[in-house]
């Protein structure tokens, strides 16, 4: 869904260029020039930290662009420059979406990989020593997609479980050796870490999901890593009206105002308290029209 609501770069129309491929190439040149001019250090800084409640501001953890992030961006640029590959992806994605969701089509093609945080950044958020043994044993990654983000976390755990709505993605995840659970029923499993990355604004019953997470979290050492794109814009891909059944009470216009509301109205009533907060770029591989897409992601580390 990244391609549908990411509008960080300007797209011009080229009425004199008749070929759609040539027009896309011209648009890509302009968009990539825009991307190159971005100050990427701003991806990691709050815009209006003064609006945050004092206790949340004190829990803000400043991260920075690292080698894994740079590598992802470089690979995205190289993949975007492969015109033949992009043409094949465009044609086949158009055909496949006649029979399946866009998410499933992208998963089948290996297209549109996502990046939220690097392995090192994940360790920092959970206070895992870079050269030490992880105190956590089990991970549940909710809405794991194609598993590219799961892979950056998996080495810190003895057992990795995942959920995913897309049948294509579930098949792909199972081939990686992860245990795929039913989306709504996790049995009697208790997890040390549960990640819920950019899922609450893309699921049908977010309130019920938070309750389920709390019920299956290890009460002693358990941590939840939850990310949310702000401003908040819920969208559910798997029904006809694309709206969730449950609404989250998130108020305010600016991201920092919405963070205050999210913690007070959603996180705390769900039985969690805030351990850490950070801001990261939510990156997605590009296509014919730009090398990569990005949105502003806010990551919350929670405990019971």
- Helix H segments across the chain? 2-5, 20-36, 54-57, 67-81, 83-96, 102-109, 119-125, 148-154, 167-175, 206-215, 255-262
Q: How do strand 179-180 and strand 159-162 relate by DSSP bridges?
A: parallel
Conformation bin of residue 15: beta by default, left when phi > 0, alpha when psi is -120 to 50 = alpha
At residue 292, what are phi and psi to the nearest 5 degrees?
A: -160, 165
Question: CATH second-level architecture of 49-303?
Answer: 3-Layer(aba) Sandwich (3.40)
Burial 48-74 (b: 16+ CB within 10 A, else e): eeebbeeebeebeeebebeebbeebbe
Percent of the chain with pLDDT over 70: 81
Report the distance separating Cα 68 and Cα 73, nearest Å.
9
**pLDDT given at position 16:** 47
125-157 pLDDT per residue, tens: 999 998 778 999 999 999 999 999 999 999 999
87-100 pLDDT per residue, tens: 665 665 666 566 66
For the chain, the structural domain boundaries read: 49-303
Q: Is residue 41 over pLDDT 70?
A: yes
Q: Is residue 65 over pLDDT 60?
A: yes
Q: Is residue 110 over pLDDT 70?
A: no
196-240 pLDDT per residue, tens: 999 999 999 999 999 999 999 999 999 999 999 999 999 887 766
């Amino acid at each position: 869904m990244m391609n549908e609501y990411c509008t960080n770069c300007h797209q011009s129309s080229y009425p004199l260029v008749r070929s759609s491929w040539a027009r896309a190439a011209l648009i890509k040149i302009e968009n990539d020039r825009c991307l190159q001019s971005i100050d990427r250090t701003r991806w990691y800084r709050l815009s209006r930290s003064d609006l945050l409640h004092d206790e949340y501001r004190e829990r803000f953890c400043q991260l920075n662009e690292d080698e894994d992030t740079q590598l992802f961006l470089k690979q995205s640029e190289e993949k975007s420059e492969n015109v033949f590959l992009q043409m094949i992806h465009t044609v086949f994605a158009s055909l496949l979406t006649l029979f399946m969701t866009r998410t499933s089509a992208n998963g089948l093609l290996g297209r549109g990989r996502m990046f939220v945080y690097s392995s090192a950044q994940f360790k920092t958020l959970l206070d895992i020593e870079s050269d030490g043994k992880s105190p956590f044993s089990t991970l549940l990654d909710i809405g794991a997609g194609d598993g590219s983000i799961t892979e950056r976390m998996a080495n810190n755990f003895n057992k990795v479980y995942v959920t995913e709505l897309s049948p294509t993605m579930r098949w792909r995840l199972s081939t990686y050796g992860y245990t795929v659970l039913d989306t709504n029923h996790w049995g009697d499993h208790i997890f040390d870490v549960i990640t819920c990355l950019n899922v609450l604004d893309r699921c049908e019953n977010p309130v019920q999901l938070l309750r389920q997470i709390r019920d299956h979290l290890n009460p002693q050492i358990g941590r939840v890593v939850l990310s949310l794109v702000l401003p908040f814009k819920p969208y559910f891909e798997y029904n006809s009206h694309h709206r969730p059944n449950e609404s989250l009470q998130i108020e305010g216009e600016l991201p920092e105002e919405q963070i205050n509301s999210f913690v007070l109205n959603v996180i705390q009533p769900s039985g969690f308290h805030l351990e850490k907060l950070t801001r990261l770029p939510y990156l997605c591989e590009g296509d014919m029209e730009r090398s990569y897409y990005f949105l502003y992601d806010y990551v919350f580390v929670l405990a019971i």
